[in-house]
Amino acid sequence: MITIEHLKVQFGETVVLKNVDIQIANGEVVVLIGPSGSGKSTFLRCLNFLVRPVEGKITLDGVVVDAKTVSKREIDRMRLKTAMVFQNYNLLKNKTAIQNIMEPMVTVQRMNKKEAEAVAVSLLEKVGLLHKRDAYPKELSGGQQQRIGIARALAVNANVILFDEPTSSLDPELVGEVLGVIKQLVAEHNKTMLIVTHEMKFAREVADRILFLEDGGITAMGTPQEIFENCSNERIKRFINTINSN
């Protein structure tokens, strides 16, 4: 269970998130949509403290963190409970596909190499890239890199996976393979997932709940049906129509 109370993020004078409150149940798949600059990615990054909120309280699996008094140790604990898939994949360039997946297991969880390798091999199989186990990131296509990124996020065995626009950097023809892997995860796992995306059809298929963010706040939320079909909010309708017509 994730509980976020009065979350506020500010960069200099600019307030990026203001007073965000939300609860997310275990195993829930939440998709965040909204225009650029609305604070979706920032919201996600607050959960693993890549962005440090100025105010607010985050409770994640019993770990309670107050933004004002947060310690390094609390940040580390928070990070162990979450895993992130990045827009630009962010694979470690000096490591092969399998080493990228093994990295958190070996360095953070102190698992022995053999065990970590076995887990990594099974994850590579899951994302359909076992034949690329020894390839370096530069030898992989964007879609392949992102699938390795997803395998790496699964390797840490966190309860919460954060997807930060996982397909935004991909060529249109590669988007499908990555969305396919995420859909498979949603179907197989009972993990909590927060996904920022502009893929409306995908959002509709996987989400238990959709959040619409604008101007640093959640302005609407509901089931995919409520947001996509029965929405009375003109702003959201316009946003979805614009995205769909592109």
| Binding interface with other proteins (CB under 8 A) | 48, 50, 76, 79-80, 82-84, 86, 88, 90-95, 103-104, 107-108, 136-138, 152, 156
For residue 90, the minimal CB distance to other proteins (Å) is 4
Task: Give every CB contact of residue 145 below 8 A, 6+ residues apart in sequence.
Answer: 89, 91, 137
Cβ proximity to other proteins: between 39 and 104 the closer is 104
Tokens for 155?
């390797």
For residue 246, the minimal CB distance to other proteins (Å) is 26
For residue 113, the minimal CB distance to other proteins (Å) is 14
Cβ proximity to other proteins: between 145 and 197 the closer is 145
Longest dimension (CA), the chain: 55
Task: Give every CB contact of residue 32 below 8 A, 6+ residues apart in sequence.
Answer: 40, 43, 44, 194, 195, 196, 197, 210, 211, 213
CA 197 to CA 201: how far, in whole Å? 10
For residue 45, the minimal CB distance to other proteins (Å) is 8
Cβ proximity to other proteins: between 4 and 91 the closer is 91
With vertex at residue 216, the alpha carbon angle to CA 43 and CA 1, rounded to the nearest 5 degrees, is 35
With tokens 């600019």, the residue in question is 14
Task: Give every CB contact of residue 232 below 8 A, 6+ residues apart in sequence.
Answer: none
Q: Write the CA distances from 8 to 41, 65, 73, 77, integer angstroms.
A: 14, 14, 21, 21
For residue 30, the minimal CB distance to other proteins (Å) is 18
14 class by beta-carbon count within 10 Å (0-12 exposed, 13-18 middle, 19+ buried):
exposed
Cβ proximity to other proteins: between 94 and 190 the closer is 94
Cβ proximity to other proteins: between 104 and 217 the closer is 104
Cβ proximity to other proteins: between 157 and 225 the closer is 157
Three-class secondary structure of residue 99 per DSSP: helix
Tokens for 36?
């650029």
For residue 25, the minimal CB distance to other proteins (Å) is 23
